[in-house]
Amino acid sequence: MRVISGIAHGTNLKSPNGLQVRPTISRIKEAIFNSLMMKIEDSIFLDLYSGSGAIGIEALSRGAKKSFFVDKNKKCIQIIQKNLELTKLINNAQIICDDCNFAIKMFCEKKILFDIVFMDPPYNKNLVNETLACMTKYNILSNNALIICETSSTEKLNQLNKFDFFKTKLYNNIMISYIRER
């Protein structure tokens, strides 16, 4: 697993050993970031269920102003820290060890707004639906913000009134959903 493009291009990233973490495969990561090309520069990026932090690090490498990483697993948090140090992108990052829904509430209270949110929770546990419902309750999205969700292709996502699921891409058993506020 490595950084695909940008100032940290080619840096090999560490992955948490012994945990059920599924790093986003390179071709999917590249497709996602190709679709974000015009939005990533100077954006505030949120990587929920961060795992190794590879997606938020890719965003920083490609020009995001700041990336926030949220994961409740302490081993994942340690790996994210190491990966940010390896890529020398630590100064533009904030790492939060907490449940994603608690973090979303905290961002709302601190009035932190995000331009791009990426989430890749454990598959088939209804976590995307829970997190989107939490985002409905607590406004953390800037104008024209984009949410990208990685799920199993069999997972059912709720069509909440607040959000427009405007694009879906299938990659074998993985589904990438692009969502924006209505």
Helix (H, G, I), strand (E, B), or coil: what is residue 119?
strand
Transcribe 19-39 into DSSP letters: S---PPPHHHHHHHHHHTTTT
pLDDT of residue 83: 97
pLDDT of residue 17: 74
Q: Output Rg (C-alpha) for the chain, integer angstroms.
A: 15
Predicted model pTM: 0.94
Domain 28-181 has CATH 3.40.50.970: no
pLDDT of residue 138: 96
Residue 141 bridge partners (DSSP): 114
Per-residue pLDDT of the chain (182 residues; tens, 9 = 90+): 899 999 999 999 998 776 566 677 788 999 999 999 899 999 999 999 999 999 999 999 999 999 999 999 999 999 999 999 999 999 999 999 999 999 999 999 999 999 999 999 998 899 999 999 999 999 999 999 999 999 999 998 887 788 999 999 999 999 999 999 88
Domain range summary for the chain, segments of one domain joined by + = 28-181
